[in-house]
């Protein structure tokens, strides 16, 4: 999708905020952040003034928008592009993070080469689904050529689950399933009649299909793929349980897919012989190549790479790995990469994931111009490096992540230099060097050891620390070895940390593995939120559109704000009465109940595989607190039943009438 663009000459002011726009300690940092968006100087000489080209917003997703603004000129790299937005019809503007400068380049490590063009590129974050936004972008160059453009662009509306042509399957083994396409607005919905006792398949194939939903199956295939969606478009894969050699494969230009709330388990084992690039491991949990795809709220474990983009070699024209969202996934026991965001081509967003037990945390090997956003991820017990910007990665944005691991904390180890990376507001804690694991080291107990940027990267406002008794010094190569606090004048090195008691920094229960055996032990996901009064509170750089919703005096370093609720990771709990699977209980669910009553299980709240009056009573109980999981976990007798609306009264009458008719039909049948 490309938005229509309207050029405007006038400018508008950003609305005043309830919190200060810039804490006095952050002004110099924000200036450095904006300057960092200018990127590399490795481009052909041209005029110092800038000339704006085409502006596009390709492949909107549900909560994020991508922007690419081509330009020429600006040889002295002092231009910038700011962005602000508002829902259409509203008055106040909200400022977003400035777009990143992407100079034309290529990557020689890729067979056949990989190329990208000159542009400014960036995203808007955490928007509302199905909302039309007015977006204003300002290209500013003190040497001339400045331009302001606006466009209206909408986030995608969340799929309407259970509204279409429903094809249901009884419990038990069903073999393989080949699906057929639906139509826009009327998808083919393949689902188990009962989520508690699902239909079982060895494989589900929707390759090349469109407007399809796959919901609530048990898929078992230890020799091959669970679900194949290569070349599919406008599809949903939701609430399935998969145990397979390869979980879900969606390559060959799969577009606008939604993979959500699945539980996916592989066949690899968390042990020393299995970890690493050459370990005894196999399989991709979710593998995606194609724009506009969203991978969210999945629980994925025990694959070589638990979530992965395609590592394409050769013909780049066959692959478009832009505008892809990977967020709120629970990822455990990753034998190579927990998230492999390799060969990303711009506005790939890896946000709010929780990673536990991985050889590599998040790989960007390589990013092809970028930006690849790696934001607010929680990473615990990584064997080697938490971030892997290898193979001349160019354009990574690594901000607000929390890392706890043995060895070095903020640690990269690359053969080729990486370029144009932006590190801000991360929190990384290392520990004792436990020695090599399957031929790989975990760092020699430095709070930070970032190797090696080519000099074009920007580092600041990160907090690092060590629990080892005698840690080595913290350093950053950009390009030569530099003391951490010289490279990061606003950074912080935390001291006095105990590997078995980190309550001064984190909520209780967080420890650092201190031996090889501890590293190779499977861990339950930990809560890495900050303790009250932690030294990193209020110490982060304020970045518009990223952390300006902070809770205290200023934003905190790391993935969490002190005192915030823990985000939801992995498959979300079902709420009785939520028939359309939007995780709220409203009258929309009642409409679905009405259309399903006595026909299919679309209004099944009690898990018995049909839609009847008892399901309505459950809906009525939980509609008292729409969307609230607390009602689900509370004493059901404490839930207040609301006053019936006209729709409810009509539904009750309809149920009674339908029951009466079916009872009479039964009597008539018996009398014949």
Classified as helix, coil or strand, 663 is helix
Contact 113, 107 (CB under 8 A): yes
Q: How far is CA 595 from the centre of its chain?
A: 34
* Total Cβ atoms within 10 A of residue 17: 12
Count of alpha carbons within 13 angstroms of residue 401, beta-carbon side = 29
Q: Does any domain span residue 229?
A: no
End-to-end CA distance of the chain: 61
Sign of CA dihedral 183, 184, 186, 192: positive
Q: Does any domain span residue 367?
A: no
User: SS in 3 state form for 648-659?
Assistant: HHHHHHHHHHHH
| Domain end call among 104, 138, 154 | 154
Domain that residue 624 falls in = 587-671
The full DSSP string for 333-396 is EEEEEEEE-TTB-S-EEEES-EEEEEEEEEE-TTBEEEEEEEES-EEEEESS-SEE-TTT-EEE
Give per-10-residue mean pLDDT for the chain (672 aa).
Answer: 46 36 48 52 64 98 99 97 98 98 93 89 98 99 97 97 94 97 98 95 98 98 97 98 98 97 98 96 97 99 98 76 99 99 98 99 97 99 98 98 98 94 98 96 94 95 93 92 96 95 97 97 98 98 97 97 98 89 86 85 82 82 56 38 51 53 47 48
User: SS in 3 state form for 126-194?
Assistant: CCCCCCEEEEEEEEECCCCCCEEEEEEEECCCCCCCCCCEEEEECCEEEEEEECCCCECCECEEEEECC
Q: Does any domain span residue 83?
A: yes
Q: Does any domain span residue 16?
A: yes
User: SS in 3 state form for 446-499?
Assistant: CCEEEEEECCCCEEECCEEEECCCCCCCCEEECCCEEEHHHHCCCCEEECCCEC
* Predicted structure pTM score: 0.89
Report pLDDT for 609: 81
Pairing of strands 115-116, 348-351: unpaired
Domains in the chain, number: 2
Q: Does any domain span residue 183?
A: no
| Best CA proximity match to 461, nearest among 27, 88, 46, 43 | 27
Contact 345, 316 (CB under 8 A): no
Q: How far is CA 243 from the centre of its chain?
A: 22
| Domain end call among 154, 184, 215 | 154
- Residues near 414 by beta carbon (within 8 Å), at least 6 away in sequence: 388, 389, 390, 393, 451, 452
Q: Does any domain span residue 85?
A: yes
Contact 213, 188 (CB under 8 A): yes
C-alpha separations of 422 from 32, 64, 370, 387, 526 in Å: 11, 20, 11, 13, 27
| Domain end call among 154, 189, 214 | 154
CATH (domain of 138): 2.60.40.10
Report pLDDT for 604: 85
Q: Does any domain span residue 268?
A: no
Location of structure tokens 């990989």:
114
C-alpha separations of 324 from 345, 461, 535 in Å: 10, 27, 34
């Amino acid at each position: 999708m490309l938005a229509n663009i309207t050029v405007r000459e006038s400018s508008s002011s950003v609305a005043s905020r309830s919190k200060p726009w810039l804490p006095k300690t952050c002004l110099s940092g924000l200036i450095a952040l904006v300057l960092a968006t200018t990127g590399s100087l490795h481009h052909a000489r041209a005029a110092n003034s800038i000339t704006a080209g085409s502006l596009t917003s390709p492949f909107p997703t549900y909560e994020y928008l991508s922007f690419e603004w081509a330009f020429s000129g600006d040889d002295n790299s002092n231009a910038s592009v700011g962005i602000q937005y508002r829902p259409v019809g509203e008055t106040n503007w909200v400022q977003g993070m400035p777009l990143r400068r992407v100079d034309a380049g290529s990557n020689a490590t890729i067979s056949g080469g990989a190329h990208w063009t000159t542009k400014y590129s960036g995203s808007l974050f955490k928007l509302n689904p199905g909302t039309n936004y007015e977006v204003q972008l300002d290209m500013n160059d003190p040497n001339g050529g400045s331009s302001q453009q606006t466009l209206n662009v909408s986030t995608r509306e969340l799929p309407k689950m259970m509204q279409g042509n429903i094809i249901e399957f009884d419990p038990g083994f069903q073999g393989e399933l080949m699906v057929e396409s639906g139509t826009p607005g009327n998808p083919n919905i393949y689902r188990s009649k009962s989520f508690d006792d699902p239909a079982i398949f060895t494989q589900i194939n929707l390759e090349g299909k469109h407007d399809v939903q796959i919901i609530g199956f048990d898929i078992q295939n230890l020799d091959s793929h669970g679900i194949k969606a290569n070349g599919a478009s406008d599809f949903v894969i939701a609430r399935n349980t998969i145990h397979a050699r390869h979980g879900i494969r969606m390559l060959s230009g799969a577009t606008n897919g939604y993979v959500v709330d699945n539980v996916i388990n592989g066949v690899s084992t968390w042990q020393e012989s299995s970890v690493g690039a050459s370990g005894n491991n196999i399989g991709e949990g979710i593998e995606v190549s194609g724009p506009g795809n969203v991978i969210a709220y999945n629980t994925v474990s025990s694959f070589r790479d638990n979530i992965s983009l395609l590592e394409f070699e050769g013909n780049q024209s066959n692959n478009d790995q832009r505008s892809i969202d990977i967020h709120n996934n629970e990822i455990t026991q990753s034998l190579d990469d927990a998230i492999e965001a390799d060969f990303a081509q711009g506005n790939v967003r890896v946000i709010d994931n929780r990673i536990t037990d991985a050889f590599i945390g998040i790989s960007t090997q390589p990013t092809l111009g970028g930006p690849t956003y790696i934001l607010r991820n929680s990473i615990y017990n990584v064997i080697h490096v938490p971030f892997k910007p290898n193979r001349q990665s160019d354009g990574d944005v690594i901000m607000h992540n929390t890392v706890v691991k043995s060895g070095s904390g903020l640690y990269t180890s690359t053969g080729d230099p990486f370029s144009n990376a932006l590190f801000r507001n991360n929190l990384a804690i290392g520990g004792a060097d436990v020695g090599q694991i399957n031929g790989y080291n975990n760092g020699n107990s430095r709070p930070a050891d970032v190797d090696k940027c080519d000099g074009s990267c920007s580092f600041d406002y990160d907090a690092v620390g060590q629990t080892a008794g005698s840690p080595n010094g913290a350093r950053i190569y950009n390009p030569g070895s530099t003391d951490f606090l010289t490279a990061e004048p606003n950074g912080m090195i935390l001291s006095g940390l105990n590997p078995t008691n980190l309550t001064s920094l984190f909520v209780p229960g967080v420890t650092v593995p201190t031996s090889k055996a501890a590293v190779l032990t499977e861990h339950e996901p930990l809560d890495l939120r900050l303790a009250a009064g932690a030294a990193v509170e209020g110490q982060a750089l304020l970045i518009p559109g990223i952390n300006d919703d902070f809770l205290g005096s200023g934003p905190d370093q790391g993935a969490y704000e002190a005192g915030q609720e823990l985000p939801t990771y992995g498959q979300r709990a079902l709420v009785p009465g939520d028939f359309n699977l939007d995780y709220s209980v409203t009258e929309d669910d009642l409409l679905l109940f009405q259309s399903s009553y006595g026909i299919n299980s679309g209004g099944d709240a009690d898990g018995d595989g049909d839609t009847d009056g008892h399901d309505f009573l459950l809906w009525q109980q939980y509609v008292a607190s729409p969307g609230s999981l607390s009602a689900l976990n509370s004493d059901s007798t404490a839930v207040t039943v609301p006053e019936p609306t006209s729709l409810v009264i009509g539904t009750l009458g309809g149920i009674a009438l339908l029951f009466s008719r079916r009872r009479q039909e039964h009597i008539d049948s018996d009398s014949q």
